[in-house]
């Protein structure tokens, strides 16, 4: 059912993918061999892309959700003319190569998102399709279709078993993201063996229940015609589409259909036999026939032409809709409006006590008018997290220009969707839930950090201060978790100026995601606070009035506890507010020493597990237990986090390290 050139190309993909894994002596040959026909159809027939400009805004997106099959993706990028040379395919899974063991965004041209942790890619793709539909609604005009790309996914059983994909695909159905097309590689094989061992649900029926358009293609190893017509139908159908493609893992090899082929090289003998059967020279590795190269070369040229036409359309658009075009250009470049800071809420010395989630609502809404790229929402907690952009409405299938996404009670899907929107470009996604439930979506937060997606996580109810909801809702280990994660800024602001700084810093990041930890409860304004000081990550909030004995370092709602404790301790106590430890540690030594003077005992005060603090201060007063269910002041007492408790610790610490004797901390 496939033409001669198609067959040649598909078999080339199969054997070179096997070569890649064999040379590395590590990796997964089975899925690349089984998925070769789908990949050939996508890159060879359906997808619009220009390998010379992997960031073309209206390119079709491709996500390999079963990231372990990445030998396939790297090979397709090579064939299609991306800057992924054969020499890098030969350095698969080696140090410093652009062909790591699972795809990582930012490493390899043409790789959109980091996949491998199962379920993430397909969920990212939901975000990409959402981004496309939103940008189309905002920017397309009659005769100016700037955005109409498709997002294609290849995934396996594993991705569809993961809860994150259930969440994301349920919302994709609700939102009717018609430009999302998923090819499900149904090979009946998992690592353990046959899918009958654990995965016997009716997948297509489930997706139909989500509101998807579902199709099945039999004999996907050879049935190109069937595959092609299914993809065409998917393009036309207004719903998100999933196509179940029955394949044989490792098709064409001697071990086809066996689960051992999932994660181990074929071995030289099987590869040689496979090549022979397919008409290749068994002595040649990494061999691509000229006809195949020429075929993909023509596709690359066609893609370049298509982008050229789009560029011309966009130039014409810029003349007809100069304001929209300028805004889109700013957003694509990741720039902020020039006068952003002037829009921030102002707080005088007598600003009234508010919860930082309320202050966050003020800042978000003050900025969102100009920062049109802010698009996001909460996991069914808008009345609590206060993250609704009031200047816009709901994003729904009938109102795709709305900037407020109702994610439902789906934290993990929400975060993965935000990664997808960030990957798409021209959108600065944010999302929101209670801080404790960042653990529901942390695998996606980690991938924001690894992938350099500057997603903004607005996490409220950030401590035992949430009170009555109790230990199941009170974060303890969440803040240490986030601070231990590379490439992640963790903000815990204490007042309006610090909340402003948190949002400004988060928006200025191009490569680092930020978590904003905001309180449920009100807290007093810090007289000495300012945007600039807060942006440095830490600053002196209350200066000592006698010889310095101790520095109390508070974050968020515990800055006011520290202020009270300092008063009770005496004139030799200083209070430092440290809304962002990561930013503080990026300051120069002179500034750091001016805040935390050498030789002086320092004590952190934070309503969270103390783990991690003693890299920066000499001791930490926190909560190394689960919280309690009661009104917040009672919980603070129960957890020994009152000013009196802090003073007691401070005195003991000064006894351990009298002024001048506190040891040096920090990097050797």
* Active-site amino acid positions: 411
Q: Which of residues 631-660 bind its own copies (CB under 8 A)?
A: 631, 634-635, 637-638, 649, 652-653, 656-657
> Given the rule CB under 8 A, which of 82-90, 191-199, 233-241, 508-516 is the region that contacts its own copies?
191-199
Task: Find tokens 């009100």 and name the residue.
Answer: 522
Query: Which residues inside 134-173 make contact with its own copies, applying CB under 8 A?
Result: 157-159, 161-167, 170-171, 173
Partner from its own copies, Ca ion, none binding residue 380, C-beta < 5-8 Å depending on class:
its own copies
Tell me whether residue 170 or residue 365 sits nearer to its own copies (CB atom): 170
The reply on whether position 454 binds its own copies by CB under 8 A is no
Q: Is 412 in the site for its own copies (CB under 8 A)?
A: yes
Using the 8-state DSSP alphabet, how is residue 200 labeled? -
173 binds Ca ion (CB under 5 A): no
Stretch that binds its own copies, among 209-217, 228-236, 362-370, 526-534 (CB under 8 A): 209-217
Pair 111, 97: CB distance under 8 Å: no
Q: Which residues contact 256 (CB under 8 A, 6 or more apart)?
A: 33, 248, 249, 250
208 binds Ca ion (CB under 5 A): no
Kindly state whether residue 131 participates in binding its own copies, applying the rule CB under 8 A: no
Interatomic CA distance for residues 644 and 95, integer angstroms: 53
Nearest CA-CA partner of 613 in 644, 576, 639, 645: 576
Closest-CA residue to 486 (of 455, 456, 451): 451
Q: What angle in degrees, to the nearest 10, is found between the helix axes of 290-320 and 322-333?
A: 130
Q: Which does 237 bind (CB under 5 to 8 A by kind): Ca ion, its own copies, none?
A: Ca ion
For 413, the token pair is 């899907």
Residues in a beta bridge with 573: 550
Phi first, then psi, for residue 410 (nearest 5°) are: -145, 70
Q: Which does 115 bind (CB under 5 to 8 A by kind): its own copies, Ca ion, none?
A: its own copies
Chain positions 219 to 248 lying near Ca ion, rule: CB under 5 A, are: 234, 237, 241
Site string for Ca ion, 426-445 (x = CB under 5 A): --------------------
Residue 128 vs 449, nearer CB to its own copies: 449
Query: Residue 410: which of its own copies, Ca ion, none does it interact with, CB under 5 to 8 A by kind?
Result: its own copies
* Interaction pattern, residues 614-633, with its own copies; x per rule: CB under 8 A: xx---x----xxx-xxxx--
55 token code pair: 């960031």
Q: From residue 349 to residue 388, what is the string marking binding to its own copies with x (rule CB under 8 A)?
A: -----------------------------x-xxxxx----
Q: What does 241 interact with, of its own copies, Ca ion, none (CB < 5 to 8 A by kind)?
A: Ca ion
What residue spans of 321-463 are helical by DSSP H?
322-333, 356-368, 382-385, 411-424, 442-451
Taking CB within 5 to 8 Å according to partner kind, which of Ca ion, its own copies, none is near residue 442? its own copies
Distance of alpha carbon 531 from the chain centroid: 27
Instruction: Give the list of residues 6+ apart from residue 394 with CB closer than 8 angstroms, or none.
Output: 402, 404, 405, 406
Q: Which is nearer to its own copies, 44 or 413 (CB)?
A: 413
Total residues in contact with its own copies, by rule CB under 8 A = 118
Pick from its own copies, Ca ion, none: which does 211 bind, CB < 5 to 8 A by kind? its own copies
**3-state helix/strand/coil string of 266-310:** CCHHHHHHHHHHCCCCCCCCCCCCHHHHHHHHHHHHHHHHHHHHH
Radius of gyration of the chain (CA): 27
Based on CB atoms, which residue is closest to its own copies, 173 or 579?
A: 173
473 binds its own copies, rule: CB under 8 A: yes
- Three-state secondary structure string covering 134-198: HHHHHHCECCECCCCCCEEEEECHHHHHCHHHHHHHHHHHHHCCCCEEEEEEECCECCCCEHHHC
User: Nearer to Ca ion by C-beta: 134 or 275?
Assistant: 134
Site for Ca ion (CB under 5 A): how many residues?
Answer: 4
For its own copies, which residue of 22, 50, 108, 115 counts as binding (CB under 8 A)?
A: 115
Distance CA(88)–CA(98), nearest Å, equals 6
Candidates 29, 34, 44, 116: give the one binding its own copies (CB under 8 A). 116
Q: Which residues bind Ca ion (CB under 5 A)?
A: 178, 234, 237, 241
């Amino acid at each position: 059912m496939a033409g001669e050139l198609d067959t040649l190309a598909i078999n080339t993909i199969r054997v070179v993918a096997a070569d890649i894994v064999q040379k590395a002596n590590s990796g997964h040959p089975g899925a690349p061999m089984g998925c070769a026909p789908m990949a050939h159809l996508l890159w060879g027939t359906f997808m619009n892309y220009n390998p010379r400009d992997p960031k073309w805004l209206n390119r079709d997106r491709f996500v390999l959700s079963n990231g372990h099959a990445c030998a396939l993706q790297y090979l397709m990028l090579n064939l299609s003319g991306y800057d992924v040379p054969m020499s890098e395919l030969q350095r698969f899974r080696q140090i410093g190569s652009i062909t790591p063991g699972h795809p990582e965004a930012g490493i390899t041209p043409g790789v959109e998102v980091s996949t491998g942790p199962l379920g993430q890619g397909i969920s990212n793709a939901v975000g990409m399709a959402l981004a496309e539909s939103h940008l189309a609604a905002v920017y397309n005009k009659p005769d100016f279709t700037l955005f109409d790309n498709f997002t294609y996914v290849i995934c396996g059983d594993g991705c569809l078993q993961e809860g994150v994909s259930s969440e994301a695909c349920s919302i994709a159905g609700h939102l009717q993201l018609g430009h999302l097309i998923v090819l499900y590689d149904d090979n009946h094989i998992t690592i353990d063996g046959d899918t009958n061992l654990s995965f016997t649900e009716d997948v297509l029926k489930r997706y139909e229940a989500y509101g998807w358009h579902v199709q099945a293609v039999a004999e996907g190893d050879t049935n190109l015609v069937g595959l092609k017509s299914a993809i065409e139908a998917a393009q036309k159908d207004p719903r998100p589409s999933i196509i179940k493609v029955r394949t044989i893992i490792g098709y064409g090899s001697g071990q086809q259909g066996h689960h051992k082929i999932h994660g181990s090289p074929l071995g030289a003998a099987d590869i040689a036999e496979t090549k022979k059967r397919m008409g290749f020279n068994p002595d040649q590795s990494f061999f691509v026939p000229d006809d195949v190269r020429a075929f993909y070369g023509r596709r690359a040229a066609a893609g370049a032409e298509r982008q050229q036409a789009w560029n011309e359309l966009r130039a014409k658009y810029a003349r007809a809709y100069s304001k929209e075009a300028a805004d889109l250009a700013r957003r694509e470049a990741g720039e902020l409006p020039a006068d952003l800071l002037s829009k921030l809420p102002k707080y005088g010395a007598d600003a009234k006590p508010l919860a930082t989630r309320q202050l966050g609502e003020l800042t978000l809404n003050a900025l969102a008018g100009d920062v049109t790229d802010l698009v996001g929402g909460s996991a069914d907690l808008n009345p609590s997290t206060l993250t609704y952009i009031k200047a816009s409405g709901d994003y729904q299938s009938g109102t795709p220009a709305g900037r407020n996404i109702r994610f439902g009670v789906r934290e993990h899907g929400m975060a993965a969707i935000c990664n997808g929107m960030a990957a798409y470009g021209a959108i600065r996604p944010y999302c929101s839930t209670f801080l404790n439930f960042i653990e529901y979506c942390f695998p996606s937060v980690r991938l924001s950090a690894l992938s350099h997606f500057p997603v903004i996580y607005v996490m409220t109810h950030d401590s035992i201060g949430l009170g009555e909801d109790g230990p199941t809702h009170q974060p303890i280990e969440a803040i240490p978790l986030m601070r231990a994660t590379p490439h992640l800024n963790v903000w815990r602001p204490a007042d309006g100026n610090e909340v402003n700084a948190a949002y400004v810093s988060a928006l200025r990041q191009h490569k680092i995601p930020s978590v904003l930890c905001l309180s449920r409860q009100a807290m007093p304004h810090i007289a000495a606070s300012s945007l600039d000081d807060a942006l440095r990550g830490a600053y002196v909030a209350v200066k000592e009035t006698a010889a310095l004995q101790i520095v109390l370092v508070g974050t968020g709602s515990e800055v006011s506890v520290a202020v009270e404790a300092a008063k009770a301790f005496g004139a030799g106590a200083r209070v430092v507010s440290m809304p962002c430890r990561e930013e503080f540690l990026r300051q120069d030594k002179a500034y750091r020493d001016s805040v935390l003077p050498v030789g002086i005992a320092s004590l952190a005060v934070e309503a969270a597990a103390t783990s991690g603090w003693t890299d920066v201060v000499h001791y930490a007063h926190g909560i190394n237990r689960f919280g309690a269910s009661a009104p917040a002041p009672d919980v603070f007492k129960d957890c020994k986090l009152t000013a009196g408790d802090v003073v007691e610790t401070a005195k003991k610490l000064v006894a351990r390290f009298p002024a001048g004797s506190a040891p040096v901390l920090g990097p050797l």
